[in-house]
Amino acid sequence: MIRIGYLIFNYASGRYGNFGGELIRDIVAKTYAVENCTIDQINNYDVVLVSFPSTQQVGDYYIEAKKHGLHRRKCKIIIGGFGAQNVSLIRDYFDCVFFGRAHDVIIELIDKLLDGDYISEYSLCSDLSGVAKIRQAQLINNNNFIEEFTGCNLKCKFCHYTYARKYTGGSSSYAQTMLVGESSKEILYRDILALYKKQGRLRTAIDGFSERIRYAYGKRISNKMIIEGINHLGDLCENNIVIQDMFGGRKPETTVMTVYNICNFPGETEQDEQELIDTINCAEPKQRIIFILQSTPFRPSAATPMAWERVNLFPQWSDKRENTLVDRHNLLFKYSYTLEGSFSHLLSVLIERARYDDANIIEKSITGRGLKGDAKNKTKQMLEFDLNHYLSEHDIDAPPPVPYLESYIGMDKMRKIAKKMRHQAQQWDA
């Protein structure tokens, strides 16, 4: 009897939970005996499935796989998941990597691997020779989960999600409540103006401090739109005044906006940040709005038009945690508490642009061995190594930093988009 192991991450990093992996597990269990396992138990199985929901878990897996000597394993290992973008670092610790959605072909993939084969168009063996496309698939529809749509039709040039998953299903609205719930709706910024009732909390994104940066990298959100969105939410609060006390006192409820932003883009300057502060200061909502900016440093994701672009580790936005930028009776604008430091940013870039021959450098950053001080000092110590491959921009006509992964739109079209974007950035520099 064939035994399948399912490896769940629950190490010191604290990253845990894997919706896609659990879905695959349930599908496989209809054909094979499947058990959750730990990394020291994998040789008890014929095949072990490992799914990475984030790229960071590739680093977690490398440390644990090396520690447990998985290069001498007896079982077959299949890896996949959204985080399986650059797997060069862990090529000694798997037999097959599948790129994209596998829920409808996972049994075929297991059977082929047991026969010493793989699905060549969408997967690679551990030598990572050749090129594999990110596979698309039908929307999920089973007893546990009904998927309304996948992908995104906005095509922001930095977003792996939108180039890994072709937009399918749904309507023009991207309102997402399946994961965050109605009490904290996730919505496109452009759709805020379509809201007709007061929101307690919502999540949205602008992805760029200035209008210039946003338009260049695919987020077509004007400064005017940002102001109108804040004002509209303030109007909705005005229309939903609630009784607060037994004496009939009435106080308007506040709407809290968590606004995701990409920072440290190529070509970004201090003036871009100031433009956003000035823009939000122009908003005059009728009732109080709290605008929390969650800025995450840009990193060039594989199989996107920005895969060839440079990385800026500084400024370090964690230095501005909870800084208040605007504080009036009707508007509070401040940075989030959970802003990322330069060292965490560098670690992500090292993993996502990893080269097999640089494993020792990357391991040093993951474990932190020999590194001292705060995030900024650790970053400076890592910069003593030659990190040109990881931080510099790359020739668009050359293979991308992750050369074996291709989006569904094809490499020729990807390069065309990338060159147009690079040309615009060069005009800024000039």
pLDDT digits over 308-342, tens only? Answer: 999 999 999 999 999 999 999 999 999 999 999 99
> Percentage of residues in the chain with pLDDT exceeding 70?
90
* Range 3-133 classified under CATH 3.40.50.280: yes
Amino acid present at 195: L
pLDDT reading at 364 higher than 80:
yes
More confident residue, 78 or 152: 78
Provide the pLDDT for residue 7: 87
| pLDDT for the residue 128 | 95
**pLDDT confidence of residue 173:** 53
User: Cα(296)–Cα(315) distance, rounded to whole angstroms?
Assistant: 11
Q: For residues 383 and 390, give the distance between their C-alpha atoms in angstroms, rounded to a whole number.
A: 11
pLDDT value, residue 257? 96
**Mean pLDDT calculated for residue range 109-138:** 92
Per-residue pLDDT at 181 exceeds 60: no
Confidence of residue 203 (pLDDT cuts 50, 70, 90): very high
CB 302 within 8 A of CB 270: no
pLDDT recorded at residue 271 = 96
- Give residue 302's pLDDT: 96
- 57: tokens are 């878990």
Are the C-beta atoms of 87 and 24 separated by less than 8 Å?
Answer: no
Residue 22 has a pLDDT of: 78
Query: Greater confidence, 147 or 3?
Result: 3
Neighbours of 201 (CB within 10 A): 16
pLDDT at 343 over 90: yes
Task: Kindly tell me if the per-residue pLDDT of 189 is higher than 70.
Answer: yes
Q: 137 falls in which pLDDT band (50, 70, 90)?
A: confident
* In the predicted structure, residue 183 carries a pLDDT above the cut 60: no
Neighbours of 32 (CB within 10 A): 15
pLDDT confidence of residue 2: 93
Sketch the domain layout of the chain as residue ranges.
3-133, 158-340+394-429
For residue 310, CA distances in Å to 60, 208, 347 come to 25, 16, 15
The average pLDDT across 157-168 equals 92
Q: Please state the length of the chain.
A: 430
Give the pLDDT mean for 202-210.
96
What integer is the mean pLDDT of 399-406?
96
pLDDT value at position 44?
94
pLDDT digits 0-9 by tens, 235-273: 998 776 554 545 555 555 789 999 999 999 999 999 999
- Give residue 120's pLDDT: 87
Q: Tell me: the pLDDT tens digits for 121-134? A: 999 999 999 999 99
Looking at residue 237, what is its pLDDT? Answer: 84
Mean pLDDT, rounded, of the chain: 89
